[in-house]
Copies of this chain bind each other. A is one copy, B any other.
Amino acid sequence: MNTTELRVDTSRRRVADLTSEVAGWCQGRGDGLLNVLAPHATAGLALMETGSGSEPDLEQLLDRLLPRDHRYHHQHGSPGHGADHLLPVLVSPSLTLPVSGGRLQLGTWQSLVLVDLNADNPSRRVRLSFLAG
Chain A interface residues toward B at CB < 8 A = 1, 3, 31-33, 35, 37-41, 46-49, 52-54, 56-58, 60-61, 65-66, 71-76, 82, 85-86, 88-98, 100, 105-110, 115, 127, 129, 131-133
With most chain B CB atoms within 10 A of its CB, the pick from A33, A71, A95 is A33
Q: How many copies does the complex hold?
A: 3
Q: A73 contacts B94, CB within 8 Å? A: no
A73 cross-chain contacts in B, Cβ below 8 A: 53-54, 56-57
Q: B105 contacts A129, CB within 8 Å? A: yes
7 contacts between A and B (CB under 8 A): A33-B131, A48-B88, A53-B73, A53-B82, A54-B72, A61-B86, A105-B129
Q: B3 contacts A98, CB within 8 Å? A: yes
**Complex CA–CA separation, A34 to B127 (angstroms):** 15
